[in-house]
Amino acid sequence: MCIPRTKPITPTPPFPQGPAEASKKDSRPVNRCDHLGSHPFSDTQDGLFRAYLSPAHAATCKQVALWMHEAGMATRTDAAGNLIGRYEGQTPGAPALLIGSHLDSVRNAGRYDGTLGVMLGIEVVAHLAAQGERLPFAIEVIGFGDEEGSRFPASMLTSRAVAGTLDALPLGTVDASGTTLHDVLHQNGLDPARYLEAAYKPEQVVGYLEAHIEQGPVLEAAGLGVGVVTAIAAQYRFKVSIQGVAGHAGTMPMSLRKDALAAAAQAMVAIERIGANGPPDLVATVGQLHVGPGASNVVPGQTTFSLDIRAGTAQVRDQATTQICEALQNIADERGVGLSIELQNDLPATPCNPALTACLAASVTRITGQAAHHLVSGAGHDAMVMAALTPVCMLFLRCHQGISHNPAEAVRHDDAHTAFLVMLDFIRAFATTTAHKPTEFSA
């Protein structure tokens, strides 16, 4: 018998703080993320939602630009709506090390996904400027406008524009209000015809560093504040449709049913089993489910669900995909229902640059006194796009229980301070070696 829940769900408690927390309560990057966590920096009064080129996005860029100026940077908005702050090197106009992440968010978001990486970049520059320290390269901190794809059905538009991988802009695509991307650009003073001018030339850049919350539980389980990313997972995203036969729930015998929802349920169990039986970096997820006709007294005749498959390598992802597709087809055949599996997104695995990653790992060791923990990112990031332009590396920060894309998202102030120190050490080490020369690397 099902017992109705009568007690309210207890919200996730605050992130337990570490012993160094008492001296790090004023961690500026974290506090700034908190400042940006509500109206007018959110498009909703309840919770955080910051959509690309929305009023909240404009307010956020205005505030972040002010912090960039205070840190010693000159700021500009590029043709794609990205906010960029530049700190010149020893030679004006020198190629730049890019430090970036995104300023947009999903709906009902946490405060640190993306934004913390931008705030850490600003903090590093502020420290260098306060010391009067100039480097052989410039530093440009980029707040990308669209990573999540939460306004228009196309993610990473702005980093793809910067990386020069966006062949054409989907100007006719519309947001939830029916407004086209073309019109939204015009409303924000951006010329759609010039959007692709946001692209950098490879010789203008020496590398890309992104700091980001892990969005997973690995670092917390290991008791570590930071980790080094070796690769960003390969990803497939499918739309799966199962066509059965709708019928009266009271008169259709169980033995004669072609229940699309029952078939989908069996399919999801198979997806979970195959995902769980694979290597640790393999994950398979069903996050959306639609049932038709959706009446309580009708046997479901049609279901559609999402299928997301990710792994550290394309080989593991593809092998699991084959197994899942075969399992779903067998279920459909046994139940006598129709099956359609439509590929909607294909993202290849993106390895981080080995030399930059080794340099970043060495910085982690120097700052923490521990060997750097290496891990694969299951989530996509702007770094995976930027790898087409320049060598990339990523630093992960621990987040409470691995929770992200959720108001319960939480980070420790002492971890943010550690990340700041690691980034600063990395930049200085990078500057004292030949590693900052683009010819030393392949992207």
- Residue 310, annotated as binding a ligand: yes
Residue type, 55: P
Q: Are 427 and 124 in contact (CB under 8 A)?
A: yes
Instruction: Give the up-direction half-sphere exposure of residue 355: CA atoms within 13 A in the CB hemisphere.
Output: 18
- Residue 405, annotated as binding a ligand: yes
- Residue 212, annotated as binding a ligand: yes
Nearest CA to 26 out of 123, 143, 118, 129 is that of 123
Q: Are 235 and 348 in contact (CB under 8 A)?
A: no
Long-range contact set of residues 187-192: C-beta below 8 Å, sequence gap at least 24: 187/53, 188/53, 188/58, 188/81, 190/53, 190/79, 190/80, 190/81, 191/79
What are the two backbone dihedrals, phi and then psi, of residue 224, each rounded to the nearest 5 degrees?
-120, 145
Q: Are strands 392-397 and 205-213 parallel, antiparallel or unpaired?
A: parallel
Nearest CA to 432 out of 121, 154, 90, 81 is that of 90
Q: Are strands 298-299 and 247-248 parallel, antiparallel or unpaired?
A: antiparallel
- Residue 102, annotated as binding a ligand: yes
Summarize the annotated binding site as residue ranges. Answer: 102, 113, 148, 212, 237, 297, 310, 405
Annotated binding residues for Zn(2+), written as ranges, equal 102, 113, 148, 212, 405
Please enumerate, by residue number, every residue annotated as part of a binding site for allantoate: 237, 297, 310
